[in-house]
Structure 1
Amino acid sequence: MSNQSNLYHRSTFFITVHPSSQNPGYASAYLFQKFQKSLIYLCIPCTTLCIPLCGMYQHYVSRAQRYVSRAQRYVSCAQRYASRAQRYVSRYVECIKPNVSRAQCYVSRYVECIKRYVSCKHHF
């Protein structure tokens, strides 16, 4: 038994867990030893298996929460920049409106002047 436990500590195991239909309250685990390339089938009590899995679950949940909070910060930052850009655009439009109307007035006067000039050329 001690030889087997030493082998367990020296080897790397990949565990796939699924509920055992033959033994309720137990889970089946397939352990693949990396170095020995052998497949071991074990029936493990769910309480024994749940302790490390719960720790891993909490680790991944906290990591996911960190990612979600980071994404929320990025979204709020992007919203701030978008609202700032909208304010700048609206200010620019308000500032340029009088100049646009003045330019339209000049263009219409210029067009009228050209029309008069062309109509005067036809008379000669």
Structure 2
Amino acid sequence: MKNTVIATIAVLAIAPTVAMAKDDNHGQSSIQFNGPVTVEKVDALIKDSSMFTEKDVVVEGNLLRQTRADQFIFSDGSGEIMVELDDDIRLTTPIDQTTKVRLFGEFEGGNKPEIEVEHLVVL
């Protein structure tokens, strides 16, 4: 009886840990879409921004330089903007300032406009 109670308590204590150790992807596969995508220009985003501007955007260009662990200066040739990469973004290959990327994220206007990047695709 005593062993049964101890075994039950041990299982109940370990079960939440095992459940939380699962993959965050929740069994969903990544979608690989190769069709057309509407891409925004950085200069147009900055020009049309105000303190309350927030919108989902897709931009293509290069990460020019790293300013912090998760922040970069991005340029598409028309202008430069600060981008902050989500903690979930993992790259399988190294990139540099010549690597063309497509960024999916949320543009936030204001004094220091930036894009909070949720997904990055190396082109």
Normalised TM-score (structure 2): 0.23
Higher-helix-fraction structure? 1
TM-score normalised according to structure 1 size: 0.23
More strand by share: 2
Larger Rg: 1
